[in-house]
């Protein structure tokens, strides 16, 4: 099986959509030889920040000398970004071997009461299988959606991590912070520790309730100014972090009791302080469980962790930044970060979005800092049409006439949008491509831009 054929086969399973519940997936994994039971894991969920935290924990463990498998989603440029072995993309040969081996098993399962597995399930199974083949020492796994009913939730992890709770995917996870926290807390397992960075009081209370019911030791991560909100946690189980001055706006000091560590992440943006603190707390908890993770490994891992599509600068003059902010919380953080991190004459926004995200809820954070907005289509059945995004922007403009772009445009494709942005941009401008990982994954460098 060739690589393109393997990718097409995986994508063909997208017709199954996203089905929650794991009876079918567990039946498939059993036919596969239960690869998910052959290595210890760290399991990570959260509304925002779970990809960065997954990457940071993986980098720390690698710096400590462990052979690490990393499963992350979504990918940006290459489907193999989802499955990393010691920080490297899964080999094409191993990728193809796994898909070819699984295909008859999938077809056999389709003839039973379980039916056909989904695209996300085969990607997850491929990760489990690849990690078993590579004999990793530990795997770090990012949840796809929610937690309780996610395909990754077939493991009993060494540690569960809940990075944040926000109002996203409310159509599937519930309408309130408490509802969503309940779904994400579904990754907590009996007597296994959990690290929580949830700041919202209702979400934090729900996570604490589930942890107590599971007999799971709970460790809280919070900015030092927010510690009183987390008063239910014993002092010894609280990791507090304090921002430090840095050009990347991400340096942070993490403290627990008498222990502290000052860190300078490679990843940029204030929100990476919280993600870094969650990763550092996770490393400390793993250390208590017998893993050899010296402070030097934590420092090195945080300093070297890389992740595409998170405030990623891909070009200068004009500066071009890719960021996968796809919900209101992420857009608010991004809008705050850009003026702090970069100097520019004008900001040109290229944005495309997918349902069920309501455009205005995200655009209201980005439009006030935008000079020129280009709304574009994405090749995805859930994509909002450019006209829908433009109409949402016009509604915002009518309500906030003094905080709006001076020019709004539409483009039928990402490529057309990129060309328009580059034709407008001067050397001192910033082009921001955001709204969906599906959009930023289409970035290329037209007109010779590198």
Residues 288 and 377 placed together within one structural domain of the fold: no
Q: Higher confidence at residue 330 or residue 275?
A: 275
pTM of the predicted model as reported, rounded to 2 decimal places: 0.91
Report which of 159, 105, 94, 162 is spatially closest to residue 129, judged by C-alpha positions: 94
Structure tokens at 250: 């991400």
Which of 110-124, 203-217, 233-247 is the least confident region?
Answer: 233-247
pLDDT of 15: 62
pLDDT at 175 over 60: yes
Q: For residues 353 and 20, which has the higher predicted lDDT (pLDDT)?
A: 353
Q: Same domain, yes or no, for 392 and 332?
A: yes
137 and 43 in a common domain: yes
With H, G, I as helix, E, B as strand and everything else as coil, classify residue 240: strand
Residues 68 and 169 in one domain: yes
Write down the pLDDT at residue 449: 43
Q: How confident is the model at residue 236 (pLDDT cuts 50, 70, 90)?
A: low
Helix axes 119-134 and 23-31, enclosed angle (nearest 10): 40
Q: Residue 429: which CATH number? A: 3.90.190.20
Lowest mean pLDDT among 21-25, 254-258, 264-268: 21-25
- Whether residue 21 has pLDDT greater than 80: no
Distance CA 133, CA 125 (A): 12
**Mean pLDDT of the 157-175 span:** 85
For 278-316, write each residue's pLDDT tens digit.
999 999 999 999 999 999 999 999 999 999 999 999 999
Q: Given 288, 304, 320, which residue is the final one in a domain?
A: 304
Q: Tell whether the model's pLDDT for residue 338 goes beyond 80.
A: yes
Instruction: Give the number of other Cβ atoms within 10 Å of residue 7's Cβ.
Output: 16
What is the separation of C-alpha 384 from the centre of its chain, rounded to a whole number of angstroms?
A: 21
* 118 and 187 assigned to the same domain: yes
Q: Which two tokens stand for residue 377?
A: 């289509």
Q: How far apart are CA 297 and CA 175, in angstroms?
A: 40
Give the pLDDT mean for 195-215: 95
SS3 call for 173: helix
> To the nearest 10°, the Cα dihedral for 324, 330, 336, 339?
0
Q: What is the CATH number of the domain that holds 188?
A: 3.40.1190.10
Confidence at residue 62, expressed as pLDDT on a 0 to 100 scale: 98
- One domain, residues 299 and 320: no
The rounded distance, in Å, linking the Cα atoms of 179 and 173 is 7
Average pLDDT (356-366) is 91
Alpha-carbon 359 to chain mean position: 20
| Residues 318, 299 within the same domain | no
- Give dist(CA 345, CA 378) in Å, integer: 28
Q: Are both 261 and 121 inside the same structural domain? A: yes
pLDDT, position 20: 57
Judge if 148 and 182 occupy the same domain: yes
Tell which of 304, 333, 361 closes a domain: 304
Given a cut of 80, is residue 154 above it in pLDDT? yes
114 and 221 fall within a common domain: yes
Structure tokens at 193: 């520790």
Average pLDDT, the chain: 92
The total of other beta-carbon atoms located within 10 Å of residue 217's CB is 16
Query: Nearest Cα to 56, choosing from 257, 299, 232, 227?
Result: 299
Contact at 8 Å (CB) between 229 and 222? Answer: yes
Q: What percentage of the chain reaches a pLDDT higher than 90?
A: 77
Question: Which runs of E-coded beta strand occur in 106-230?
Answer: 138-142, 159-162, 194-196, 218-223
Give the model's confidence band at 446: pLDDT under 50 very low, under 70 low, under 90 confident, else very high: very low
The total domain count for the chain is 2
**Same domain, yes or no: 259 and 114:** yes
Domain boundary among 304, 331, 350: 304
Strand 347-351 with 319-322, pairing: unpaired
When pLDDT is averaged across residues 2-10 and rounded to a whole number, the result is 95
Highest mean predicted confidence (pLDDT) among 80-89, 230-239, 379-388? 80-89
403 and 353 in one domain?
Answer: yes
Residue corresponding to tokens 């949830």: 198
Predicted pLDDT of residue 232: 54
Q: Domain limits at 73?
A: 3-304
Hey, what's the torsion of the CAs at 233, 236, 240, 244, to 10 degrees?
Answer: 170
Secondary structure tally for the chain: helices H, strands E? 15, 17
């Amino acid at each position: 099986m060739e690589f393109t054929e393997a990718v097409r086969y995986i994508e063909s399973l997208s017709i199954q959509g996203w089905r929650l519940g794991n009876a079918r997936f567990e039946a498939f994994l059993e036919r596969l030889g239960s690869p998910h039971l052959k290595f210890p894991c760290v399991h990570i969920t959260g509304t925002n920040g779970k990809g960065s935290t997954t990457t940071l924990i993986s980098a720390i463990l690698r710096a400590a000398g462990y052979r690490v498998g990393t499963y992350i989603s979504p990918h940006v440029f290459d489907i193999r970004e989802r499955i990393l072995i010691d920080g490297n993309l899964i080999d094409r040969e191993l990728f193809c071997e796994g898909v070819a081996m699984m295909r008859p098993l999938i077809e056999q399962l389709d003839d039973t009461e379980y039916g056909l597995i989904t695209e996300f399930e085969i990607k997850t199974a491929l990760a489990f299988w690849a990690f078993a083949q590579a004999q990793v020492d530990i795997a770090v796994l990012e949840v796809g959606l929610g937690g309780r009913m996610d395909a990754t939730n077939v493991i009993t992890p060494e540690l569960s991590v809940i990075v944040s709770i926000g109002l996203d995917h409310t159509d599937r996870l519930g309408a309130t912070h408490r509802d969503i926290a309940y779904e994400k807390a579904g990754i907590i397992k009996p007597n296994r520790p959990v690290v929580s960075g949830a700041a919202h009081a209702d979400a934090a209370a729900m996570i604490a309730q589930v942890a107590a019911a599971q007999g799971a030791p709970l460790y809280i991560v919070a900015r030092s100014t927010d510690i009183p909100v987390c008063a239910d946690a014993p002092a010894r189980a609280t990791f507090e972090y304090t921002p430090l001055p840095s050009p990347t706006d991400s340096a942070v000091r993490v403290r627990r009791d008498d222990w502290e560590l000052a860190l300078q992440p490679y990843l940029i943006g204030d929100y990476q302080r919280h993600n870094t603190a969650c990763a550092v707390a996770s490393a400390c908890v793993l250390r208590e469980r017998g893993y050899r993770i010296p402070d030097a490994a934590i420092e090195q891992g945080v300093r070297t962790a890389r992740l595409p599509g998170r405030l990623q600068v891909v070009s200068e003059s004009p500066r071009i930044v890719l960021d996968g902010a796809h919900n209101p919380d992420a857009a608010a953080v991004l809008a705050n970060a850009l003026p702090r991190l970069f100097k520019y004459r004008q900001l040109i926004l290229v944005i495309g979005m997918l349902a069920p995200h309501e455009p205005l809820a995200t655009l209201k954070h980005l439009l006030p800092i935008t000079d020129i907005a280009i709304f574009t289509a994405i090749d995805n059945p859930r994509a909002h049409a450019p006209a829908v995004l433009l109409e949402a922007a016009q509604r915002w403009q009518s309500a906030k006439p003094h905080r709006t772009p001076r020019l709004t445009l539409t483009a039928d494709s990402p490529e057309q949008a990129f060309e328009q942005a580059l034709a407008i941009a001067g050397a001192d401008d910033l082009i921001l491509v955001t709204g969906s990982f599906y959009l930023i994954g289409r970035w290329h460098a037209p007109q010779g831009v590198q």
